[in-house]
Amino acid sequence: MSNDNVVKVALIGNPNTGKTSLFNQLTGLKQKVGNYPGITVEKKQGFCKLSETVKAEVTDLPGTYSINPTSMDETLVLETLLNEKSEAFPDVIVVVVDIENIKRNLLLFTQLKDLKIPTILVINMIDQMKRKGINIDIEKLEKSLKTKIVLASARKKIGVDLLKEAILDYKSVDTTPVGKISEKIDKEYFANLKNAFKEFPLYKSWLLITQQNEFDFLSDEQKKLVLKFRENLECIKRYQHKETIFRYQIINEVLNESFHIDASKATDLRGILDRVLTHKIFGYLIFAAILLFIFQGIFDWATYPMDIIDNAFASLSSFVKTVMPPGSFTNLIAEGIIPGIGGVIIFIPQIAILFTFISILEETGYMSRVVFLMDKIMRKFGMSGKSVIPLISGTACAIPAIMASRNISSWKERLITILVVPFTTCSARLPVYAILIALIIPDKRIFGFLNLQGLTMMAMYLLGFTAAITSSILLHHLLKIKSKSLFVIEMPNYKIPSLKNIIYEVVEKTKAFVFGAGKIILALSVVLWFLASNGPSSFKNAEETVTEMPENKNINSAELQKKIASYKLENSYIGYMGKTIEPVIKPMGYDWKIGIALISSFAAREVFVGALATIYNVDSDDENTGTIKERMAAEINPDTGKKRFDFPTGISLLLFYAFAMQCIGTLAIVKRETNSWVWPLLQLVGMGILAYVSAVIAFNIFS
Amino acid sequence: MFKTIANLKIGEKAFIEKLCLDNIPLKLLEMGCLPGIEVQLIQKAPMQDPLYIKVNGSHLAIRIETAEKITLVK
């Protein structure tokens, strides 16, 4: 058992029961989000003081309808509760139920209670009781459910103190199961099972044999026994169904005595909203309008803070250079680490805005309606209605988008979603598109109001979306994965979103991005900096070589410095790398300098502009795209005598960046989420070939 | 011909007779979709699929392929 002064509490409940609100009320800002070892499901923990000497360590487990998992998130709940040696194994379980859906919510409660861990029942949203005409006899309910009940309204901060008292007193909670279900199903079978695993509560043994997962905490002998029981799969399935039916029988009996609802009090706001929001015309129109609004937020409002961040980091770099003694350590900080951190921070506004919208849509209950509206359409592409959320999120960043696919229970639908999300135009592609479009598309208006450059940008978005859809159709037909559809979603009641929950959610998601993807981007920018600022002997002698060149005798020192920088780059490690790949990228119309930018942006696309800025030795301190653009526009291709960034090369680059998988962060997350290198490699190679071939074709058509 | 949830008209209510247990996800039972329970079709998605039903106090959306496997008492 754990330390007496810390009570380990597991907070469990169905989705949409206000469990997270209660968690936020209990722990306030004393939360930490970590990962469970080996898997990416976030582990939300927080602390709260129960008395002068005792505090509670509260773990907010993912929402689930039953202890039998149907998705990755839910598996975690099961594993935490079965493994007594697990770090998060609770002293006491707090089950949160929504008063309006108490019947369905109690199913999970009766399952958990059978595990013989002290279990407290929190009936949430009691502020709705009167309005909904609900009457509840708590004493009777406590008696028949053999538990301690706390009435609460997490949003109105009711009942939180009572819950703390109940947790403190958890040892007095009755741990006997609610009914003798096993005897009703098959007395003999369960007696056998009980004998096989004498050391476990019966229900725990039952759960061990009904799941398909392997449980690492079992001994080899126990594992063998589990496998033996699992052989009779049909029988297990039948008994599972019976179990559920018997549980509902018990719940119905219990509620008949102690719970009454006056149906005449029900208002039909839900019905009216549903009819409008899932209407065959208005439903889609409203969804389209909301999407438009979100994109407006991501691409318009976010530019202001992004510009500020961009400038702040540029001035920080030059500030560091002026105050610190010159040398490679200063350069590492000013040219490697600071721009590296800046490259991560700059995405925070877009990601925060996106998640604000998404969490509002989820909190209000609207997201389920979108899933309902879109499911049939998405299924034609081998995905699920639930894939809509990852695909929208992908327009900001593929990493959180891929994580958002976890609640898709069909493996095939989830896999296809994960595989195609990187085609959506993420914000890292924006600066690349922006500079290339500015170079090759004239700043003209057609029909007097449509800006040609803006249209091209829109075309690039459509291109990304089309690529995602087309590849999903392809994958749908190619992937021979049989996975049973378990599509059952709850259509929750509409709610006014809670500001606190939204803020917590946004902060948490943004933090996950910054610390997850951020580490990789930062590390790689340091590596790039090293490769660009070091090289073999020709690099070390750059200064002398350039100064002694006859054509450089009469130029001023600023000009000379730029020439040295450019010569250094050419002879740095990365310069050599660029020259090595030149033969390969030539068919797309690129030279070794663009090659460097390609290599640099393999880790993260947005590095492209910065790399070009270095290559065309623009003074990077004033971060002025105009000057980079001018340099790029002035660059001449020595082979043809024409502009380096002419129309064919520009189009070729645009296509390459639209299709290629240039994001280490995404590859890493795909590996983690699919638990295999096959899928990220498939993305890398598949998207790479598509990018290369289309760039070559485009270059040759337009040349 | 068996009548299933897929045959219900919008707003129509009926009692569940039987769920074809081999093809029904356990999750659906756990959400309250059980024999003898009344089910109401609330709405169909624009392309007639999925279906939005109310059963045992829960509001759920299920796909037609699942709905077809839940027979109703005539």
Contact B32 A66 (CB under 8 A): no
Reference B40, options B3, B74, B2, B8; nearest CA is B8
In this prediction, residue A221 carries a pLDDT of 87
Structure letter (DSSP) for residue A176: S
Residues of B in contact with A103 (CB under 8 A): 32, 56-57
Residues of A in contact with B25 (CB under 8 A): 70, 484, 486, 488
Domain borders along chain A are 6-172, 181-265, 526-702
* A-B Cβ pairs (cutoff 8 Å, strict): 109
Reference A526, options A693, A385, A333; nearest CA is A333
Residues of A in contact with B11 (CB under 8 A): none
Contact B30 A385 (CB under 8 A): no
Phi, psi angles (nearest 5°) of residue A660: -70, 150
- B21 in contact with A, Cβ within 8 Å: yes
Residues of A in contact with B30 (CB under 8 A): 65-66, 68, 107, 244
| 3-state percent breakdown (helix, strand, coil) of chain B, nearest 5 | 15, 40, 45
Q: Considering only alpha carbons, which residue of chain A is nearest residue B67?
A: A488
Q: Return the sign of the alpha-carbon dihedral for residues A669, A670, A674, A680.
A: negative
Report how far Cα A650 is from the mean position of its chain's Cα atoms. 32
- B62 in contact with A, Cβ within 8 Å: yes
- B63 in contact with A, Cβ within 8 Å: yes
Rounded Cα–Cα distance for residues B51 and A376 (Å):
11
* Residue ranges with strand state E in A343-406: none
Contact B61 A375 (CB under 8 A): yes
In this prediction, residue A284 carries a pLDDT of 92
CA-to-CA separations, A300 to A155, A305, A328, A691, in angstroms, rounded: 33, 10, 38, 28
Collapsed DSSP state (helix, strand, coil) of residue A552: helix
Report CA Rg, chain A: 30
Contact B63 A485 (CB under 8 A): yes
Give the burial class of A80: count Cβ atoms within 10 A of its Cβ; 0-12 exposed, 13-18 middle, 19 or more buried: buried
Residues of B in contact with A65 (CB under 8 A): 27, 30-31
In this prediction, residue A701 carries a pLDDT of 93
Cα distance from A493 to chain B (closest Cα, Å)? 9
Phi, psi angles (nearest 5°) of residue A687: -65, -35
Residue to test with chain B: of A100, A487, A493, most B Cβ within 10 A: A487
Cα distance from A514 to chain B (closest Cα, Å)? 35
Q: Return the sign of the alpha-carbon dihedral for residues A62, A67, A73, A78.
A: positive
Rounded Cα–Cα distance for residues A103 and A248 (Å):
8
In this prediction, residue A149 carries a pLDDT of 92
Contact B45 A372 (CB under 8 A): yes
Contact B47 A376 (CB under 8 A): yes
In this prediction, residue A369 carries a pLDDT of 93
Cα distance from B74 to chain A (closest Cα, Å)? 22
Q: Return the sign of the alpha-carbon dihedral for residues A610, A616, A622, A628.
A: negative
In this prediction, residue A1 carries a pLDDT of 43
State the DSSP string of A451-484. EHHHHHHHHHHHHHHHHHHHHHHHHHHH------
Cα distance from B4 to chain A (closest Cα, Å)? 17
pTM: 0.80
Contact A489 B29 (CB under 8 A): no
Contact B59 A66 (CB under 8 A): no
Of B21, B32, B59, the CB nearest to A491: B59
pLDDT tens across the length of chain B (74 residues): 678 999 999 989 999 988 776 677 788 888 888 888 899 999 999 888 899 999 988 899 999 988 888 889 87
Residues of B in contact with A486 (CB under 8 A): 25, 27
Domain A6-172 has CATH 3.40.50.300: yes
Q: Considering only alpha carbons, which residue of chain B is nearest residue A279?
A: B46
Return the residue matching tokens 């797309």: A588
State the DSSP string of A102-157. HHHHHHHHHHHHTTTS-EEEEEE-GGGHHHHTEEE-HHHHHHHHTSEEEE-BGGGT
Residue to test with chain B: of A279, A383, A411, A488, most B Cβ within 10 A: A488
State the DSSP string of A209-230. HH--S--TTS-HHHHHHHHHHH
Return the residue matching tokens 């019976």: A242
Rounded Cα–Cα distance for residues A63 and A95 (Å):
11
In this prediction, residue A615 carries a pLDDT of 67
Contact A245 B29 (CB under 8 A): yes
CA-to-CA separations, A418 to A374, A578, A670, A671, B10, in angstroms, rounded: 17, 31, 7, 10, 35
Residues of A in contact with B46 (CB under 8 A): 278-280, 283-284, 373, 376
Contact B29 A376 (CB under 8 A): no
The domains located in chain B, with CATH, are 5-72 (2.30.30.90)
Structure tokens at B32: 């309250």
Q: Considering only alpha carbons, which residue of chain A is nearest residue B48?
A: A376
Q: Return the sign of the alpha-carbon dihedral for residues A637, A640, A642, A648.
A: negative
Contact between A369 and B46 under an 8 Å Cβ cutoff? The reply is no
| Residues 6 or more apart in contact with residue B54 via CB below 8 angstroms | B39, B40, B42, B60
Residue to test with chain B: of A68, A239, A244, most B Cβ within 10 A: A244
Low-confidence ranges of chain A (pLDDT < 70): 1-4, 29-42, 264-267, 299, 448, 484-485, 516-517, 520-521, 613-628
Rounded Cα–Cα distance for residues A429 and A607 (Å):
10
Q: Considering only alpha carbons, which residue of chain A is nearest residue B60?
A: A490
Of B21, B25, B49, the CB nearest to A238: B21
- 3-state SS record for A484-499: CCCCEEECCCCCCCCH
Chain A residues contacting B, CB < 8 Å? 65-66, 68, 70, 100-101, 103-104, 107, 237-238, 240-241, 244-245, 248, 270-271, 274-275, 278-280, 283-284, 368, 371-373, 375-377, 385, 484-493
Cα distance from A622 to chain B (closest Cα, Å)? 53
Return the residue matching tokens 């209000």: A364
Rounded Cα–Cα distance for residues A466 and A461 (Å):
9
Structure tokens at A202: 């019966």
Cα distance from A283 to chain B (closest Cα, Å)? 9
Reference A433, options A459, A409, A402, A467; nearest CA is A459
Reference B27, options A125, A358, A484, A443; nearest CA is A484
Q: Considering only alpha carbons, which residue of chain A is nearest residue B55?
A: A104
In this prediction, residue A549 carries a pLDDT of 80
- Which 24-53 residues of chain B touch chain A by CB within 8 A? 25-32, 34-35, 42-43, 45-50, 52
Cα distance from B30 to chain A (closest Cα, Å)? 6
CA-to-CA separations, A69 to A63, A82, A390, A482, in angstroms, rounded: 11, 13, 21, 18
Cα distance from A260 to chain B (closest Cα, Å)? 13
Reference A593, options A628, A624, A621, A561; nearest CA is A628
Beta-carbon count within 10 A of A204 CB: 18
Residues of B in contact with A101 (CB under 8 A): 57-58
Q: Return the sign of the alpha-carbon dihedral for residues A32, A35, A36, A37.
A: negative
CA-to-CA separations, A110 to A181, A375, A473, in angstroms, rounded: 10, 32, 43
Contact between A96 and A13 under an 8 Å Cβ cutoff? The reply is yes
Residues of B in contact with A280 (CB under 8 A): 46
